[in-house]
Amino acid sequence: MARFGRAPHYAATGPAPPPAPTPPAQQHYCPGEMRLPVNLRRNSLSLTLPPAPPAPAQQPYRPSEMRLPINLSRNPLSLTLPPPLPRVPPAPRQFHSFHIINPPRRSPSDHLPNPLFPTSPQRGRPGAREITSLSSVEAGKRAAAYAAVDAHFGNAPGHVGIGSGSTVFHVVDRIRQLSAERISNTGFVPTGHQSRELLRNAGLRVVQLEDVPGRINVAFDGADEVDGRLNCVKGGGGCLLLEKLVAIRSEVFVVVADRAKQSRALLTSYRRGIPIEVIPSATPYVLSELRSLGSTDPRVRDGAPAKLGPCITDNGNFIVDAPFPPLATSGAVVELAESLKGIVGVVEHGIFWRGDRRPERAFFGGVEGDWEGVEVRPE
């Protein structure tokens, strides 16, 4: 009787089953073979790749060749460039008057003489006439400035006023050349930022106008136009208020300019108009009053290109340029000067006349490097 839970035993009848096949021996991996997946090991196959070609020898670098990227090093290629073209020298530059203010970059072989000092004419070069004429004008300004300082600086003055303009540079240059005994105890009163920096760069002692207790011994300044009686129009640089204050407080007022600033009547050559310093909030009213006085087109001076908007003085005011017809007589100068001063909102105007501190003497530089001195003519 069979027992539950145990398989019955049958006697083996017939031939014995064949033995199990022996697994193949473990194959070693060779770098040149690509093995198939592991589930195919019983029928192992291998795919033999051809051996890699030998790497080419390193090619020396030549400057005339352009090598391709490194991933193409098995088949190196080179591209031979054509030889460089011959260098063509640049065309000669033309010289313009703007280069006096903003000079271009030059090589030593392209050097031009300094137009601020006299030079001999250069023939055969572009712009030689402009350079020569400008140098002679500057030489005339320098001669006039030197003569003015030699005649009116005095011996060790207490205070000297220094205005603005292109000729004032030569005035300061001449003062700097004086002996230390004459200038060591002198205080120099500037009329604006330009003259203040000019004095500091020259090593002269700067004194503000409010720190001067008494009178200024002498004042040197430029001018935009001067008539036959030395009435002046000043203020093209925007410093007319301080210029007039320094002139009024000076015992001697001297103007230095080039001869082109001379005219028979004011507003003949200076067509920009009389500079007038105006309180900003009073500008519309002042412009209306100027038109009623006969000004053709009064305008607030623009600050461009240095800044956007109107020109602002050191005192925070506007500058109005008011063109008028030429002032042919001294009576016309006096009448217009008094009328401008009577407009509410006008701080100061640029007419320096008999009752408002015109200069005692003027020095004018000529185009040939000479100078001329003019004194006040009796009326």
Please give the DSSP secondary-structure letter assigned to residue 312. B
**301 vs 322: CA distance, rounded Å:** 10
* Residue linked to tokens 């020298």: 89
**DSSP letter for each residue of 187-230:** EEEESSHHHHHHHHHTTPPB--GGG--S-EEEEEE--SEE-TT-
Contacts of 266 (CB under 8 A, 6+ apart): 225, 227, 231, 232, 233, 326, 327, 333, 351
Using CA atoms, how far residue 146 sits from 66, 139, 142, in Å, is 68, 10, 6
Tokens encoding 301 = 């001076």
Report the 10 Å Cβ neighbour count for 76. Answer: 14
Please give the DSSP secondary-structure letter assigned to residue 140. H
Tokens encoding 217 = 């011994």
Helix or strand holding residue 257 (H, E): strand 250-258
Return the closest-CA partner of residue 299 out of 290, 237, 307, 308: 290
Return the closest-CA partner of residue 196 out of 204, 137, 109: 204
Known active-site residue 243: yes
Return the closest-CA partner of residue 229 out of 260, 203, 255: 255
Return the closest-CA partner of residue 142 out of 323, 302, 298, 365: 365
Contacts of 220 (CB under 8 A, 6+ apart): 145, 148, 149, 152, 160, 161, 162, 163, 168, 171, 254, 255, 256
**115 vs 97: CA distance, rounded Å:** 10
From the candidates 138, 243, 277, 348, give the one annotated as an active-site residue.
243
Give ∠ CA 124-126-127 in degrees, rounded to 5.
Answer: 120
Tokens encoding 307 = 């800044």
Q: Which active-site residues does the annotation give?
A: 243
